[in-house]
């Protein structure tokens, strides 16, 4: 059973609009760069480090998992013990801190989500330098 996606913030509205063809992917990407995202992460107290949730895709590429809000993350992170918490951060900060060479999945397992290939992230990182 599919439930209707009801946007809870402007980023979710923009993402829904791109899925419905109301705005272009380029317009959405510009908006995303000035938006806040939720990055699930687990803390390692012994190492005093935080590890973001990354998975491997079918091709073995690391994919960083992000969400449009902490509430959207809850059902997904239930399958990943230790990642119930995370950070709210600007999307550009995430790219700056994480570097490139990976993909990003925003709202995975949701009908209103988007996947960004490593090449797109390299382009975004270059435009933000």
Q: Where do the domains of the chain lie?
A: 36-127
Q: Which CATH number applies to 36-127?
A: 3.40.1350.90
Is the model's pTM score more than 0.85?
A: yes
Q: What is the pLDDT along the chain (129 residues), one digit of tens a residue?
A: 346 889 999 999 999 999 999 999 999 999 999 999 999 999 887 888 889 999 999 999 999 999 999 999 999 999 999 999 999 999 999 999 988 899 999 999 998 999 999 998 888 888 776
How is residue 57 annotated by DSSP?
Answer: -
Angle between helix 91-98 and 25-33 (nearest 10): 80
Q: Give the list of residues 6+ apart from residue 86 with CB closer than 8 angstroms, or none.
A: 38, 39, 40, 41, 52, 53, 70, 73
Q: How far is CA 117 from CA 44, 48, 72, 79, in A?
A: 28, 30, 21, 24
């Amino acid at each position: 059973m599919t439930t209707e996606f009801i946007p809870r913030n402007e980023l979710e509205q923009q993402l829904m609009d791109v899925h419905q063809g109301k705005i272009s992917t380029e317009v959405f990407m510009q908006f995303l760069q000035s938006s806040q995202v939720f990055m699930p992460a687990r803390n390692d107290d012994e190492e005093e480090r935080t590890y973001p949730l990354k998975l491997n895709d079918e091709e073995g590429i690391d994919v960083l998992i992000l969400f449009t809000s902490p509430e959207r993350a809850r059902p997904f992170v239930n399958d990943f013990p230790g990642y119930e918490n995370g950070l709210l951060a600007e999307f550009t900060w995430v790219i700056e801190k994480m570097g490139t060479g990976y993909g990003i999945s925003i709202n995975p397992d949701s009908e209103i989500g988007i996947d960004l290939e490593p090449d797109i992230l390299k382009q975004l990182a270059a435009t933000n330098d």
